[in-house]
Structure 1
Amino acid sequence: MTNYYLVGSKYGEHNNVDIFPELYRRSVISVGFADEIDLSHLYLATEEEIINYLSERGEPKSSCNALKKFLQIKLGDVVAIKSSGNPKNGVSYLGIQGYAVVVERDGRIYFHDSNELGHCLHVEYFDTDFRELSIGGYAQTIHLIEDLETINSIFGQNVNFANPEIRKNAARLRFNRRIASSEVNTNPQSRKGGDDYITNPIHNKIQSIFGQKLKKIYGSEKVNFEIDFVDITLELDNEIYYYEVKPFAKASSCIKNGLGQLLVYASRYSGSKKLKLRIVGPYPVESEEISLIQFIKSSINFDFEYIDCQIENDHVA
């Protein structure tokens, strides 16, 4: 069963040091209590075992309460990373910096970082748009969110990306993305690029649906998957298209998380055909995102577009 958690992102004596950029960079969530103690042996232990172990080492109640919950967060659980849960001007407030799903890397979910973050869990971020909600009562470091209405309020449409039916059976299947393929595996997979992570099943479904649509239009011989890490490549007589698929809930999140990858891939391209870059996501562009796309198109030296591929009815827009 998928559980939903709210986890803080502030360190320091006064909770005034925002570590979210570092969490996002390293694809982890963390807590800094008892940061000198490696708790690998207590990951997924009972809360009683965790509290007893920490209490015997003189850890305060706040440390025990945070770590007994943090060490229960398991593979496939979904986490909202909060910037603040304190009221503003007497009004209930909850700021969310991002959403992530817990994954396994190199055989580990939990690891201890004695130099910086303390206790860490590997995650894959799938939405990093900032949200402000008028919800109170979440000032502690970690909260397990169990009420369905509250889950929907905090996680919104991201609940769909974290559906247990989507997340279960998240097998880690390694493969070499440098070998071109005419088909795509729609199961969760482990990618080996700069980092190792489990691909989102929605990503794989979009990739398959959109790729098949391109094949119908241009022919199978012109479409390939996973050439030099590019999700989909379409090669025509005078043009070549790189498509990067992102499964995030907003077009802007897809663009922010995918454009850098496309530019890296473009830097390696040495052919003579005109290279065009495309981000493919599951939702249409919203009105406030149009200016972002226009800015990008006017700022880079590549033909760029965002394409929505609505997977609910297997339709590619």
Structure 2
Amino acid sequence: MSETTHDGAVALGDRPAKSPDDGLSPAELAAKYGLAVSGARPSLPDYVRQLWSRRHFIAAYSRARVTAMYTKAGLGQLWQVLTPLMNAGVYYLIFGLLLSTDRGVENYPAFLITGVFIFTFTQQSVLSGTRSVADNLGLIRALHFPRACLPIAFTLIQLQQLLVSMGVLLVVVVLTGEVPTLAWLLLFPALCLQALFNTGLAMAMARVGSKIRDMTQLMPFITRTWLYASGVFYSIDHVVDDAPRWAEIVLDLNPAAIYIDLMRFALMESVNSSTVPTHEWALAAGWAVVMAVFGFVYFWKAEESYGRG
């Protein structure tokens, strides 16, 4: 009896002392020992700093993707120019010759090819941005970096392709009768505003595409509808006269149409301030800033969810 009691006393005496961490919640333990959740969303200022520190990664990644994109094609990177040119040729055949939408438009070839090149920049930025997260889950799960690098890099890819195509566009515009003037310098602010708008829209669609995988199948139909509503093949001024007031407002506020108008204003003498009023520059800047801020914040809000599940 006494031995049992003694053994019991010994057993009780060997019980470990109570830990000072007993009763603390996981959050309290993390705060006590300075722990942080792996992959947690940083604050917005920290996210901006992280993104800036990865700027070289974004540039290198976009260059590598452009190089890899055409490695298996016989003509290589010439397709960056040939694709929009062939699209413009098809559209000219259908809309210029068969449907005669060129009526009332001076220098329709330059008018059309400018619209095709500029809209393609926005269209491809949106399409590639929508797929940027969903198609790169392996990279996201393997490396730690701000996920906004991906839609930004894909927009930069499209910008690089547009800049290559711009040389051909300028040649075509000159061959169709346009004369280079100081107004051509307006190409640079117009492209900068459009690139900013495209980046914000690509980031917004990247989050949507990461959650709704069917968006990659739906987006080509949406962008095609946007194409027909953006005055690529026709002058919006010639069709709004008989349109309802709400349709006129929608067409006038269409950001794709605004950036196309500004590019035509810079390149074509026949497109002047009477067809492209000064307030379109304000609209272009407004669309660029609003979409860039909204797209960035909207994407950042879901930062910790990308690549999970």
Richer in helix (by share): 2
**TM-score after normalising by structure 2:** 0.27
Structure number with greater Rg is 2
Higher relative contact order (CA 8 A, sep 6+): 2
Richer in strand (by share): 1
